[in-house]
Structure 1
Amino acid sequence: MQFHYLRQPLWLLGPLLLLVTGVVPTLWLPISSIFLGPNIASLLSLTGLDCIFNLGATLFLLMADSTARPNKESEGCSSKPPSSYSFWNIIANVAGFIIPSVMFIASQKGLLQPQLPLISWGVLLGPYFLLLLVQLLTEMLTWHWQSPVWLVTPVVYESYRLLQLMRGLKLGAEVGAPSWTVHTLRGLVCCWVLVLGVQLMRVAWYAGFTARAYQQQSAEVGS
């Protein structure tokens, strides 16, 4: 019971942590204060900004996992996602790697003109690739540990990914990105909005499925 009362502040502390580490720095920190041009310093600054969010997201998922655990230590808590869910999540993440990579390789091969320098491409999409890799690793760990937070993990990262890509669109003018790069970023925004919508539909489906299973179990016990 003592642990139950200690968990109650986490319901507010967790979302506030996401707000402070993810939304506030991205929306209110002037880009000019960390972006000095298409160079290594700017790339590291943008990566550091996203690492702040990643730290907050990790702490949030730990708090969410704690609130989902039963009050009694004797009661086990394991939640394993369906295999189809894991498969399509991996497909979406891998596609998020492949699509912009193919566009960049096509540019370097001369198929897309004008070419975009490597450092400019890194500034626009380097942090995106890094956080996508972190999300894939985090999801696999939640599946392996059968943590209840496997359902909300992609929602947390994909919501911030939209902020990342919108930031990339703003920086496109700063680095002189060609039109094909801007169109690629816009296409990625559309794709991830679609993926995020599917994830939210899954949350609604899982909530309804769990409620129906609980009602059936209660009816069986009552009978």
Structure 2
Amino acid sequence: MVSQGMVSLTKSLCTMTPRVRLKNPKMMQNTKIGSCHVRFKNFRVLCTTKLSQWEPSPFVPASAEEASGIVLEKAANVFESIVSEAAEEEKEDSQQQRANSQIQVFKWPIWLLGPSVLLTSGMAPTLWLPLSSVFLSSNVVSLLSLIGLDCIFNLGATLFLLMADSCARPKDPSQSCNSQPPFSYKFWNIFALVTGFLVPTLLLFGSQTGLLASLQPELPFISSAVLLFPYFILLAVQTLTEILTWHWQSPVWLVTPVVYEAYRVLQLMRGIKLSAEVNAPVWVVHMLRGLVSWWVLILGMQLMRVAWFAGFASRTTNQEPESVASKER
């Protein structure tokens, strides 16, 4: 009796349809009554109907066990993804630290190799090489020999600056290094170079043309070329190197003038020794001594700028932690 009652109840539920008044009676043809499934074991009634395209699909809630399983599965997947991402980041950091340490180990010999190259290419030939083996007389051969001696220094100075640039770069290659000198520094460097070029040029031009009567007797062209032409070439090389370091924003812009100006002092001292060999007049010797004094003064100013820049860098590094602490407060 119970089973017959349940069957009749389910049939009545499945055959019940809502009464909807439609303007178009043909739309009733699209609605179809589905089948009913009765489970007597669990006393559950499941009615499935095929709804029309205008009716929303019924919402069938999942059981608590299925919902908890889905949530746990999603949480486990999220946790596994977070752990894998953290492991990958730690692996990348360790690899980057190893690469940086290897690069730093490769940079250690440069600290000794760079100054050694500068010493052997520039200072050693000028200080220990006898001038009698280079300078024979005031002719073209002696001029080319002196220019070649200075070219050796220029090559050594270029290698030294490249090594210093590699040491000054940050350990992490991904970090950018933009070191730009201030405008006042550029202006005074250009002013010193132009002054060092114009003063001897005007004096030589005045002696050759007779505009300055005190600059007599005049110095022959080949003798003046032996004394001052290597000096002018070094000025041009220094100007080009400084412009390139400014353009590339290299950290060696502060050291470049010190390297060339130190050698220029030795170069002019060599010119004073050679002035006796070419029978240079007294005013030429005084001009060379004035140039030596000028470049020693400029070299001292450059060294003071190095000290100022070191103090400025220390002040900025001390101000950064204070600003960070004030922001945290």
Q: Is the TM value for this pair above 0.5?
A: yes
The answer to which structure, 1 or 2, has the higher relative contact order (CA under 8 A, 6+ apart) is: 1
SS at match of 2:266: helix
| Greater fraction of residues in helix | 1
Cα distance in 2 for partners of 1:41, 1:127 equals: 13
- Distance, in Å, in 2 between the alignment partners of 1:222 and 1:43 is 63
Where does residue 152 of structure 1 map in the other structure? 255
Q: Does 1:213 align with 2:313?
A: no
2:104 aligns with: 4
| Deviation string, structure 1 residues 17-76 (Cα, Å, up to 9, x no partner) | 111011100010000001011110000000000000000000000000000111111111
Among residues 163, 175, 190, which one is paired with 2:266 in the alignment? 163
SS of 1:72's equivalent? coil
% identical equivalent positions:
66
Q: Distance in 1 between matches of 2:313 and 2:303?
A: 15
The answer for the alignment partner of 1:193 in structure 2 is: 296
Pairs aligned (count): 223
C-alpha distance in structure 2 between counterparts of 1:203 and 1:105, whole Å: 36
TM-score of the two chains, using structure 2 as the length reference:
0.67
What is residue 240 of structure 2 aligned with on the other side? Answer: 137
Partner of 2:196: 96
| Structure 2: gaps spanning 5 or more residues | 1-100
Which has more radius of gyration? Answer: 2
Q: Does 1:177 align with 2:280?
A: yes
**Alignment-mate amino acid for residue 163 of structure 2:** M
Deviation at 1:218, TM superposition (A): 2.0
Residue 121 of structure 1 is matched in structure 2 by 224
Q: CA RMSD in A?
A: 0.7
Cα distance in 2 for partners of 1:64, 1:35 equals: 33
TM-score (normalizing by structure 1): 0.99
Gapped regions of structure 1 (runs ≥ 5): none
How far apart in 2 are the matches of 1:28 and 1:191?
A: 25
Q: Partner letter of residue 105 of structure 2?
A: Y
1:16 shift after superposition: 0.8
Q: Secondary structure at the match of 1:44?
A: helix
Provide the residue aligned with 1:17 in structure 2.
117
